[in-house]
A and B are shown apart, each in its own frame.
Chain A
Amino acid sequence: MTLSQNSLTHLEMLEAESIEIMREVAASFERPVMMYSVGKDSSVLLHLARKAFAPSRIPFPSLHVDTTWKFREMIAFRDQTARDYDFDLRVHTNAEGARDKINPFDHGSARYTDIMKTVALRQALNAGKYDAAIGGARRDEEKSRAKERVFSHRNTAHAWDPKNQRPELWRAFNTRINPGESMRVFPLSNWTELDIWTYIYAEGIPIVPLYFAAPRPVVKRGGTWIMVDDERFRFEAGEAPITKMVRFRTLGCYPLTGAIESEARTLPEIIMEMQASRTSERDGRLIDADQSGSMEKKKQEGYF
């Protein structure tokens, strides 16, 4: 962001706030880690972390919890980005889950997500003895997220207690934890989806090509388009992939991430389409819809 006069624009304010939060983490914790999910919010997070510490290298590692069911393009983008920006990328997969071939087709999205994401995350955080984990969650994504603190305390079991959150005043963040406890930190708390996209546009931040419309093989599942990303996909009787012009608004595990029909091949087209659309971002995620208040419940159990 370049500054025009003495007052900052809303994007400049958001950028500065996020940078301040990143620096506070680096200065206050012994073993911080940044969650890197490869999505657009992670791309912004990474960009902000580079800005926060330049000309130094990012002073903490990045962690990707690989469920083994991510889109192939995500993994390729992840590895390319790690090379381009020279950051310390660590990848963790729940080895027992992988051995037992836990997958969204046989075990259902709830059980699969619990084992390959939530449990895997706890394993990785415990193994790394991380005392602070930076995440890309935004308050505008979902109702229970709207009340999450920027510095959000977790007990020794990584659980969130929404009724016992520390008051958070000014930028005087309370970073204190007892041994074994940890902090989840959300530098993008005050960003909206539109802010993310306009910032990516203004700063020229690389993102996974899946966000742009292209002809892709898909099948219709539960009112949304699911991409057939590899040979492990399970077709139902009589089902066959068709090629459609689609793109993704969020990225996750390919069997659980819905695509939308779209012609938007450029950032301005995406932003325009998004502004004209009338559904919220997480609508494409199947896991949130499992039960009422399901995000809050997952978060209490340690999900990001």
Chain B
Amino acid sequence: MTMSATSAKSSADLDLWLEQQTHKSLLRFMTCGSVDDGKSTLIGRLLYDCQLILDDQLASLKNESKNRTTGDEGIDFSLLVDGLSAEREQGITIDVAYRFFTTDQRKFIVADTPGHEQYTRNMATGASNSDLAIVLVDARKGLLTQTRRHSFILSLIGVRHVVLVVNKIDLVDYDQAVFEKIESEYREFAARLGFDSLEAIPVSALKGDNIASRSEATPWYEGPQLVPYLEQVEVGVDRSQGQMRFPVQWVNRASLDFRGFSGTVAGGVVRVGDDVLVASSRKPAKISRIVTMDAEHTKAVAGQAVTLVLDREVDISRGDVLSHPGETPEFSNQFQARVVWMQDEPAFAGRSYLLKTGAQMVPATITAIKHKTDVNTLEKHPARRLEANEVGTITIATDKPIAFDAYGTNRQTGGFILIDRISNSTLGAGVIDFGLRRGENITYHNFDVNRKVRAEQKGQEPQIVWFTGLSGSGKSTIANLVEKRLTAEGKHCYILDGDNVRHGLNKDLGFTDSARIENIRRVAEVARLMADAGLIVLVSFISPFRNERRIAREIAGDIKFLEVFVDTSLEVCEARDPKGLYARARKGEIKNFTGLDSPFEAPERADLILHGGEAEPLELADELHDRLFDK
């Protein structure tokens, strides 16, 4: 291979060369395989052979390579790509690393993905953005579980082109029989995965055999070398051939006269004058302009980011998908998909998540786990849940219909991620197989609706926050402010206080000791039911006796119960006297008034103490929010 980078150029050639630079194609590929198969070494070797390792990098590399296995150049190439300190210490790759190199023919983006089983999610991540994969196998070990697992994930995520690199061929004395045995075993396994192309190459990444040029140590091998192969392989991704899809990402309202729909064409070609349909409303319109900052265009093809203007007012917002009439995406709230589960918290039927596909984000529930697939044998097994790194076939129902395609026809509109509604972590990645008609195959009754399910639906942890303190201490004021803030954050809350309970549910109760206990018992039971329904319940009750509050806590059972003591001095409360109760009690009109002729037993172990006389209610509410709700 020749690198234009190092060849001297006259300034006359320069414009031509720059012109070439701007017109090269791009190949995104990934490397995968089991741990220690030498992926990082291979990428380091690719960069080195393409003369892309710079002097300062080379110097520090040679320095770091002491005491490590190296090739003739005295370099451990894996050091170049194993970026994070933790990896250098452990000697393994634990995340996806992206590398870039360029030859005269192509620009390459390489995703180096890890071999350890627990990091299979990263492998799926790399695959989702790759058109080709290099599957590495150690010639001494042959095919391993990881080889099969990764190949299966490649086919699931839709990587169509595979290069089987049989590495460390030098360590089996360049034995043709070893290479051919591995190749035929892999071809047999891969036949079931339906790749479009598969090329097997014997290499030594450490020594450089068959990387950039033909190795003299493998005279029996007549196939292509790795770099020349990557430079010319046709991955045949012409997404402009498919049906037109335009997911609206952002509505551009530049002025009163301009309303455009910004997005990236996700398939096919869109032209000025085209009739289009909005997937959600099935409202028709015509494309009147295709706008970019540079120019007005007559057409836009898959992959281009543009802004479309329509010939009429149509209600369109972020997440809507435009297509040609007669070639519309599916629009449904139910579909079947295959998912790669990525987190320790398993997937269960009945769980609610956020589903994101394109610019659409909707609450979604796994309605059934049909089976999981054994990645070694490709056999299907019944499953009640999916653990991390497992692959399963599931059905999903979304809260409202979404536009989608089968993943096989469009990667952009057929792939989705599932997000945890509380932690926001990405739990799984899925590819849609097909839509289900309403009522078809859907079994809502095969899971129990329980507190956990209701909590996930609301995206919050149900709990009881019990405010205790003197009359006038600020309990209700603070609870109200906390409720407003939580509601603004999309949480679901309810406040129980003396006023709304005494006037209804408990209006039959007086103020005797037994009536007080019954009052507390009923309030605590209602709070428990509300929390069981998934709510955050804020209870604002003087509740002066430790015993009462202990009863409430016991009734709450396994529901999270937080005791908040609003500690405001009697003097302050009496000076405030918002309802005139202290004045009446002082006159003897109210008996057994807490703080005056009836004691207040301060909590011994409150979860939070707010000093009511010393700060504004808003500050106290923020303090409570930050301490109890900001994780």
Contacts and interface: CB of A to CB of B under 8 A. Distances in A.
B125 interface: yes
30 contacts: A2-B294, A6-B301, A10-B25, A16-B303, A16-B305, A20-B264, A23-B262, A23-B305, A51-B292, A52-B305, A54-B292, A55-B291, A143-B80, A143-B83, A143-B84, A143-B97, A147-B83, A166-B426, A167-B417, A169-B128, A171-B412, A172-B357, A174-B419, A177-B424, A178-B631, A179-B489, A190-B98, A268-B14, A276-B5, A293-B88
B18 A201 contact: yes
B520 to A, nearest CB: 33
Contacts of A19: 264, 305
A3 B301 contact: yes
A6 B25 contact: no
Contacts of B57: 280
Given A10-B24, A12-B304, A279 B56 contact: yes
B424 A147 contact: no
A177 B14 CA distance: 47
Interface stretch (B251-259, B272-280, B549-557): B251-259
Contact of B429 (A20, A162, A169): A169
Contacts of A51: 292-294, 305
Contacts of B21: 194, 198
A296 interface: yes
B358 A172 contact: yes
Contacts of B411: 170
Contacts of B9: 272
Interface size class of B (residues with CB under 8 A): 35 or more
Given A23-B250, A139-B100, A162-B84, A170 B15 contact: no
Given A9-B24, A52-B305, A140-B100, A27 B291 contact: no
Q: Which 8 A-B pairs have the closest CB atoms?
A: A143-B83, A54-B293, A10-B26, A176-B424, A19-B305, A169-B128, A278-B55, A293-B85
Contacts of A172: 356-358, 415-417, 429
Contacts of B292: 51, 54
B162 interface: no
A86 B419 CA distance: 38
Contacts of B249: 20, 23-24, 27
A175 to B, nearest CB: 8
Given A167-B342, A279-B56, A280-B54, A139 B98 contact: yes
Q: Is the interface of B mostly helix, strand, loop or mixed?
A: mixed
A196 B307 CA distance: 24
Nearest to B94: A163
A162 B95 contact: yes
A104 B40 CA distance: 38
B547 to A, nearest CB: 37
A8 B295 contact: no
A167 B86 CA distance: 18
A20 B302 CA distance: 13
A179 B293 contact: no
Contacts of A178: 424, 630-631
A144 B84 contact: yes
A266 to B, nearest CB: 9
A276 B82 CA distance: 26
A167 B22 contact: no
A257 B354 CA distance: 46
B18 A271 contact: yes
Nearest to B59: A279
Contact of A147 (B80, B95, B102): B95
B109 interface: yes
A1 interface: yes
A89 interface: no
B107 interface: yes
A147 B250 contact: no
B298 to A, nearest CB: 10
Interface string B400-428: 00000000000110011101000011100
B100 A169 contact: no
Interface of B: 4-6, 8-9, 11, 14-15, 18, 21-26, 54-57, 80-86, 88, 94-100, 102, 107, 109, 121-122, 124-125, 128-129, 238, 240, 249-250, 252-255, 258, 260, 262-264, 269, 291-295, 297, 301-305, 307, 318, 342, 354, 356-359, 411-412, 415-417, 419, 424-426, 429, 489, 630-631
Contacts of A198: 18, 21-22
Interface size class of A (residues with CB under 8 A): 35 or more
B125 A13 contact: no
A167 B56 contact: no
Contacts of A144: 83-84
A31 B475 CA distance: 33
Contact of A279 (B25, B54, B238, B303): B54
B102 A194 contact: yes
A41 interface: no
A275 B4 contact: yes
B99 A13 contact: no
Contacts of A180: 630
Nearest to A174: B426
Given A3-B301, A172-B358, A201-B18, A13 B250 contact: no
Nearest to A148: B98
B254 A56 contact: yes
Nearest to B109: A190
Contact of A9 (B23, B260, B294): B23
B54 A7 contact: no
Contacts of B96: 147
A190 to B, nearest CB: 6
A29 to B, nearest CB: 12
A296 B419 CA distance: 27
Contacts of B128: 169-170
B544 to A, nearest CB: 34
Nearest to A153: B424
Nearest to B121: A167
A162 B98 contact: no
A165 interface: yes
A277 B412 CA distance: 39
B85 A169 contact: no
B305 A1 contact: no
A189 B98 contact: yes
Nearest to A26: B250
Given A13-B26, A23-B249, A55-B293, 6 more contacts: A55-B260, A139-B100, A147-B98, A163-B95, A198-B21, A198-B22
A178 B629 CA distance: 10
